[in-house]
Structure 1
């Protein structure tokens, strides 16, 4: 079993063999069909809102719900496909020998959402963008966890967002997929709950998951229940506990 342990100062190292326990100060999610027709990004300037696709709107919405305009958070963003709608449109323009839009290109890169958020919040701290296949949500959360452990006095904002890929990609999760985003603020200052995360090799990878890992996490968080997600040969377990104040 490969898990990691929480440490309270920078001199200690992450040691395999223990659970990673993280302080969650706030979390938020947005899911198409379950909430308003479009994510609320009214806090952004109109000139910027006009440039945003659904993926970035979802990401900025949950970022604002979790951290507002906090200029002191480190940001980790994760997405399996990124803004594939924009990327696909640009690829089609290339095939048709049409000129590419600089705005479309700048908003299609994987870290575009964190760039927009950083400019809006005037946040000059580092941001990280991650893509890791079906395990992207967990790998992004693991990166956020390790960053928080390395410097626990500074919060880390984890953002995950996924838009629906165009139909002709025929992705393996098309039957269970809806556009959605998740935001998690890791901070030891005033945690609302603690999150324990662990992973191990799965006994079998024959049974496909019924939900993407991110949506399974949201469902278990809403219900306040521990859960296990299995896919591509690995199983991830997480559980929550209300923080003592």
Structure 2
């Protein structure tokens, strides 16, 4: 069992930006229509914005406001699938015997987002990029709470997924639409997260677990459960 506080949160998806937008969606969750919309990152200089994919823009849009006024803020970045649109374009170039772009390759690796974050913010504190499977959010929480226990006054956790290219549809079915969720975590016991063994296979949720947790944050519910393989994670709100 681990304990922590969720001091602040932010989230983004196409058409869902404000708390009111997310409150309305959480009451009647629906899959969003395909969209090329991207979050506003005009707080960054234009030359820096040009390097950011939509995945990176989503991460920056939720993380930047949470990091304001907090120097030396450790970051835990989570994405199960990462930069699938970039990597797919690279694979297409390989298949066509075309030369590869070094820039595209360097920005497609899984820790590219935290590298860009470090450069653009001049941030040198601890940063971790995780690519866990269906319970990556929970593994990210374990990493974040370990940093809190080591003395960090706060830790920024960001989880984001991009809509994969259609060719991946037979294998990737857990991203109903692009989204990003940022959590500013501090020490405390407002929340606890427990891990137990699932007694039997449990039905999965219709939504990525980060969005189920967001629905819990926006409601009066005190418990949120997530089953993955033989692991059962229980989030408990104490206050």
Alignment TM-score, normalising by the size of structure 2 = 0.84
Report the equivalent of 2:233: 236
Say if 1:224 and 1:240, in contact at 8 Å, map to a contact too. Answer: no
Cα deviation, 1:26-71, whole Å, max 9, x if unaligned, reads 1111122423842121111101111211110010011112112633
Matches within 5 A, 1:133-144: 133-144=133-144
Report the equivalent of 1:209: 205
For structure 1, the 5+ residue unaligned runs are 1-18
User: More displaced, 81-90 or 69-78?
Assistant: 69-78
Alignment TM-score, normalising by the size of structure 1 = 0.82
User: Closer, same or farther in 2 for the Cα pair 1:120/1:224, shift >3 Å?
Assistant: farther
Report the equivalent of 1:110: 110
Say if 2:193 and 2:235, in contact at 8 Å, map to a contact too. Answer: yes
Say if 2:174 and 2:207, in contact at 8 Å, map to a contact too. Answer: no
Report the equivalent of 1:149: 149
Matches within 5 A, 1:5-24: 19-24=1-6
Distance (Å, rounded) in 2 between the aligned partners of 1:224 and 1:25: 17
User: Closer, same or farther in 2 for the Cα pair 1:235/1:173, shift >3 Å?
Assistant: farther
Report the equivalent of 2:121: 121
Distance (Å, rounded) in 2 between the aligned partners of 1:43 and 1:129: 24
Matches within 5 A, 1:31-110: 31-35=13-17, 37-68=37-68, 70-110=70-110
Say if 2:74 and 2:154, in contact at 8 Å, map to a contact too. Answer: yes
Say if 2:202 and 2:227, in contact at 8 Å, map to a contact too. Answer: no
Runs of 4+ that moved beyond 3 A? none
Report the equivalent of 2:160: 161
Report the equivalent of 1:182: 181
User: More displaced, 163-172 or 176-185?
Assistant: 163-172
Cα deviation, 1:144-190, whole Å, max 9, x if unaligned, reads 111211224x32111111111112223566376211111111234xx
1:134 shift after superposition: 0.8
Report the equivalent of 2:32: none
User: Closer, same or farther in 2 for the Cα pair 1:176/1:89, shift >3 Å?
Assistant: closer
Say if 1:32 and 1:179, in contact at 8 Å, map to a contact too. Answer: yes
Which secondary structure does the structure 2 equivalent of 1:29 belong to? strand
Distance (Å, rounded) in 1 between the aligned partners of 2:57 and 2:195: 31
Say if 1:27 and 1:182, in contact at 8 Å, map to a contact too. Answer: yes
Say if 2:161 and 2:175, in contact at 8 Å, map to a contact too. Answer: no
Cα deviation, 1:68-108, whole Å, max 9, x if unaligned, reads 26331111111001111101110111111111112211211
Distance (Å, rounded) in 2 between the aligned partners of 1:98 and 1:81: 24
